[in-house]
Chains A and B, each alone.
Chain A
């Protein structure tokens, strides 16, 4: 599109009140004449695009670490009889006489979960794309507070450093599972990882929560106040709706995790008994009475459950956007998509106790949470049907991003359906804490969210770095990963139905669980291969930043505002005025239009041939 900027001078955003007081020209002026120092530009940057890249690259590093940890414990699970002497150069004392230390095994699963859920899929996914896309897609110069945004990243960085350091502690990192249920997480006598490792974990998570809250407040404010002229809430791309609601979920639920962490810190260090009662351990009766370990679970899952939607909703938003763009069709049921996001967001706060059906909580409470949990399947189903309907009679281009989006839908269905089993309290009695659960959430929130992340990177890479990722490598990456994920997690359901408990160092002690040795070997092999396939992406990513094919302004012929910026948008995003918005973001293949897409900033007056009856009056 040649006419990227409207002729009308619509400089100010729609809600001019809170638009940064400094005029945009001043920004541009500043940019041109004062070359920022390296430190200002790439390290302590307040530019949302740089911060997004910081989140992304930190997230990639964490994903490599988290993936490596999982490969290590999959080795143990796949080949429980083997010796791993060859790992001792890396793991040192954690290899004892060729065997992985069982406590270190628990540390591995704990850190894998923590890293993947919080550092990769929360910070790496939502942090990256909320930052990158919110200002660009709503037509803002930057976030409402660039400074807070910078703080958000650096709190995340500090949190990362603390968590990373904890991996090398003498007593090992936190080992009580990523859900850190007390008393195990409160008592170093119970497991060495609950000493310094758990302290580091809690400190790191406190910093992480600060980072999330700073980010969240900023995203919400930006979406509410800084939309460009004409960008009403009902014209927002679904990505922004998803980021917006995700930020609200985070803002309401992370403080509860903070409170849980704080109380746990009190129990650990200051002798309180919030979560501890009647404990005799290591030859000693502890003085604590009256606390409840179950209280911690309520607090934890009050965050923990919205957290899975915090992870998946941004992916849903991006997938909706990418499916529409590459099917060259409007997303089907735009309003229903927003409605289902709203429904999921509301319901996500009142389903947490489905993680706790068999904890001894009142069975009546279990019934209530079963009802609420199964209701949440309805909006999820609506989303799935709408994605399918979006593909129907489309004209699909299989970009790497599109492949990952289709993969996302496939995995979301596969993993989401088994949630209906687990949400049923009567069935959860048998399935709770088995590999069925592991398979379920790795498909529905682990792999799907990763696929959303990959889709997002492939799709927006040209806008981030001004170059294209290599498509062929993208295809190889997709097919290996897609195949790998199914080969790992489908058979895992079988193991789970047979009742294999999760977080077991070995199953060989039980007759009930000792079959499936071959299947476990198979799962481990597939997991390790799928992990190594990710290096195709990592190579592609870093190679293309410097040597990829140069991108054009709008390589996917997309309709949203970010594609109206220069190839590499500078500080302030648009060199001139911010374009005003006239239409919804999904005018693809509109009958009568010259091209198969009409960007949001094109007024109806320029598209008379394609206007629908009710749009005529807006000409």
Chain B
């Protein structure tokens, strides 16, 4: 019934609009304005452009200022500070160009609106000013490119040798995390070995993988370079960590990587933001299916000591899943050369320890 009522109202509204429209046409014919080439509406539009510029510009400025605080996710990595500076420097340059060109556009529109008897200025070209306004953007661009290129090379350059290594693997629809054990070497994984228990596809015939452990979230130490190794086991995903200004695709069949240095622990960030529940989050940023929007992983940045303690508590995958290990042992005789060392031993990676 209500639907019918709404439809009826809509139809009536349309009829009213239709009638108004006809009426407007008829009045304009009677008043003669329909035959005039340039009428009052020309002036109205010119004024509207100025109103749009002033009111719109003010509204834009206000809303920008109003949202500015919410806009910037707090920064927690070394390169994040550098790119953030570059971002806002670029935005300021763009803001100046934006303001200048928009003001000129609307002011010209208003100022040079049609006037009876005036003739436009015949001005087909002027090589000098054209060269100038080709060169200026070219120079500005060159500056921006150069700055960007330097920063990009630094960010994507090789990770420091002593970086803490963490591997994340994307799957529909969550993230798996793997750490190399105390030997600092990630073991071989093979997608054909994946099953419900061996989600990563550990190939435990590889000695390097015996002490690897998996974790439900990422832990990294503050102030220490972290090399994130990234895999996917089904479709494309992307590791996106907005607070660290980190983003890299997870590609099936092609491991990728990204390294960064966290600068603030989770606790420090909680204190700084005044939000006791603050958590660093890793989001999937490449469309991957039904659960794409909920593919979240928490990241904890610890003080170096806490990180060492956390690392020491972890149990290796092989230790937690003796069945899996046993199945590899059966498969290969060669494997039994060296007995697995308990990964729970409170020994931290030698390299990490040295620099922490």
User: Hey, which chain B residues are within 8 Å of A291, CB to CB?
Assistant: 253
B324 is an interface residue with CB less than 8 A from chain A: no
Assess the B155–A426 pair: CB atoms within 8 A: yes
Once the chains are docked, how many angstroms separate the CA of A581 from the CA of B214? 76
The yes or no answer to B152 lying at the interface (CB within 8 A) is yes
Pair B120/A278 contact, Cβ less than 8 Å: no
A371-390: CB near B (< 8 Å → 1, else 0) gives 10011011001101110110
Q: Which residues of B contact A513 (CB under 8 A)?
A: 283
B87 CB–A CB distance under 8 Å: yes
Contact A370 B45 (CB under 8 A): no
Cross-chain pairs A/B with CB under 8 angstroms, 5 sampled: A335-B125, A371-B149, A382-B133, A427-B87, A510-B283
With A and B bound together, what is the CA distance between A497 and B238 in angstroms?
Answer: 18
Chain B 274-305 near chain A by CB (<8 Å), digits 1 or 0: 00011101011111111111101000000000
Of A203-211, A214-222, A408-416, which stretch is located at the interface?
A: A408-416
A46 to B245, CA, bound (A): 55
By Cβ-Cβ distance, the 5 closest A-B pairs, closest first, are A277-B253, A360-B256, A363-B156, A499-B242, A393-B121
Query: In the docked arrangement, what's the CA distance between A590 and B126, Å?
Result: 16
Alpha-carbon gap, A358 to B242, bound state (A) = 14
Give the chain A neighbours of B21 by CB distance below 8 A: 470, 473
Tell me which of B34-42, B219-227, B314-322 binds A. B34-42
Given contacts A177-B287, A384-B101, whether A398 and B156 have CB atoms under 8 Å apart is no
Q: Which residue of B has the minimal Cβ distance to A286?
A: B191
CA distance A394 to B242 in the complex (A): 48
User: Across the interface, which residues of B come within 8 angstroms of A374, CB to CB?
Assistant: 141, 144-145, 148
A141, CB-defined interface residue at 8 Å: no
Contact across chains for A395 and B119 when beta carbons are under 8 A apart? yes
Chain B nearest CB, measured from A558 CB (Å):
13
Contact B38 A397 (CB under 8 A): yes
CB distance from A433 to the nearest CB of B (A): 5
User: Within 8 Å CB of B98, what residues of A?
Assistant: 413-414, 417
Q: Is A424 an interface residue (CB 8 A)?
A: yes
Docked-complex contact A334 and B41, CB < 8 angstroms: no
Q: How far is the CA of A107 from the CA of B84 in the complex (A)?
A: 34
Q: Quick check: A336 and B152 within 8 Å, CB to CB?
A: no
Q: Within 8 Å of chain A (Cβ to Cβ): is B325?
A: no
B337 within 8 A of A: no
Q: Report Cα–Cα, A398/B109, bound state, in Å.
A: 9
Restricting to B249-286, which residues have a CB under 8 Å from any CB of A?
Answer: 249, 251-254, 256, 277-279, 281, 283-286
> How far apart sit A429 and B194, CA to CA, in the bound complex (Å)?
31
A366 with B152: in contact, given A281-B234, A328-B120, A427-B87 (CB under 8 Å)?
A: yes
Could you tell me how many residues of chain A have their Cβ less than 8 Å away from some Cβ of chain B?
A: 116
Question: Which B-chain residue is minimally distant from A596 (CB atoms)?
Answer: B119
Q: Does B67 reach chain A (CB closer than 8 Å)?
A: yes
Q: Chain A residues with Cβ under 8 A from B113's Cβ?
A: 396, 398
Cβ of A421 < 8 Å from any Cβ of B?
Answer: yes
B10–chain A nearest beta-carbon distance, Å: 11
Min CB distance A335 to B, Å, is 7
Within 8 A of A (CB), among B78-101: 83, 86-87, 90-91, 94, 97-98, 101
A83 at the interface (CB under 8 A from B): no
Q: A168 contacts which chain B residues (CB < 8 A)?
A: none
B104 surroundings in chain A (CB, below 8 A): 388
Interface: A367 (CB within 8 A)? yes
Within 8 Å of chain A (Cβ to Cβ): is B172? yes
In whole Å, how far is B297's beta carbon from the nearest beta carbon of chain A? 11
Q: Which of B39-58 contact A (CB under 8 A)?
A: 41-42, 44-46, 48-49, 52, 56
B333 at the interface (CB under 8 A from A): no
Contact status B48-A277, CB under 8 Å? no
* Residues of A58-98 contacting chain B, CB below 8 A: none
B25 to chain A: closest CB distance in Å? 7
- Of the candidate stretches B68-76, B205-213, B343-351, the one touching chain A is B68-76
Contacts of B281 in A (CB 8 A): 510-512
Q: Give the Cβ gap from B134 to chain A, nearest Cβ, in Å.
A: 5
Residues on A with C-beta less than 8 A from B52 are: 482-483
A497 to B254, CA, bound (A): 29
Nearest Cβ on chain B to A331's Cβ, whole angstroms: 8
Cβ contact within 8 Å between A420 and B90: yes
Report B63 CB to chain A, min CB distance, Å: 7
- Indicate if the CB atoms of B191 and A377 lie closer than 8 Å: no
* B124 touching A498, Cβ below 8 Å: no
What chain A residues lie within 8 Å of B137 (beta carbons)? 377-378, 381-382
Of A420, A499, A501, which is within 8 A of B73 by CB? A499
A: residues with CB less than 8 A from B are 102-103, 106, 176-177, 181, 183-184, 187, 190-191, 276-281, 285, 289-294, 327-336, 358-360, 363, 366-367, 370-371, 374-375, 377-378, 381-382, 384-386, 388-389, 391-398, 403, 406, 409-410, 413-414, 417-418, 420-421, 424-427, 429-430, 432-434, 470-473, 475, 479, 482-483, 486, 490-491, 494, 497-499, 501, 503-507, 509-513, 515-516, 519, 549, 586, 588-591, 596
**CB–CB B192/A285 < 8 A:** yes
On chain B, the number of residues with a Cβ less than 8 Å from chain A's Cβ atoms is 111
- Which residue of the partner chain A has the closest CB to B250? A360
If the complex has contacts A277-B253, A395-B115, are A184 and B94 also in contact, measured as CB distance less than 8 A? Answer: no
Judging by beta carbons under 8 Å apart, are A505 and B293 in contact?
A: yes
B185 within 8 A of A: no
Decide: B287 and A176 in contact? CB cutoff 8 A.
yes
- How many whole Å from B9's CB to the nearest CB in chain A? 15
* Chain B proximity of A556: nearest CB distance (Å): 10
> In the bound complex, do residue A501 and residue B141 qualify as a contact, i.e. CB atoms below 8 Å apart?
no
The answer to whether A332 and B125 touch across the interface, beta carbons within 8 angstroms, is yes
Measured between beta carbons, the chain B residues less than 8 angstroms from A388 are: 101, 104-105, 108
- Asked if A330 and B112 make an inter-chain contact with CB atoms under 8 angstroms apart, the answer reads no
Bound-complex Cα distance A409 to B124 (A) = 19
The answer to whether B294 and A509 touch across the interface, beta carbons within 8 angstroms, is yes
Are A410 and B238 neighbours in the complex by a CB distance under 8 Å? no
Cross-interface CB contact of A187 among B46, B192, B235, cutoff 8 Å: B235
Chain B residues with Cβ below 8 Å from A430 are: 83, 87, 242, 245, 247
Alpha-carbon gap, A410 to B53, bound state (A): 11
Known: A360-B248, A418-B94, A589-B119. A184 touches B236 (CB 8 A): yes
Chain A CB within 8 A of B130 CB = yes
- Nearest-Cβ distance from residue B248 to partner chain A, whole angstroms: 5
Q: Is B60 close to A, CB under 8 A? A: yes
Q: Judge whether A395 and B90 touch: CB under 8 Å.
A: no
Complex CA gap A549/B125 in Å reads 37
* Among B102, B157, B236, contact of A183 (Cβ-Cβ < 8 Å): B236
Cross-interface CB contact of A292 among B119, B129, B254, cutoff 8 Å: B254
A280–B201 Cα gap in the complex (Å)? 10
B94 touches A381 (CB 8 A): no
Interchain CB contact under 8 A, B233 and A279: yes
* B49, B138, B289: the one within 8 Å of A191 (CB): B289
| Residue B188, interface by CB 8 Å | no
Assess A433 versus B94: contact at CB under 8 Å? Given A330-B123, A377-B141: no
12 new A-B pairs (CB below 8 Å) besides A277-B254, A278-B191, A427-B83?
A181-B236, A190-B234, A333-B124, A363-B156, A367-B153, A388-B104, A395-B112, A403-B45, A413-B101, A501-B240, A507-B293, A589-B119
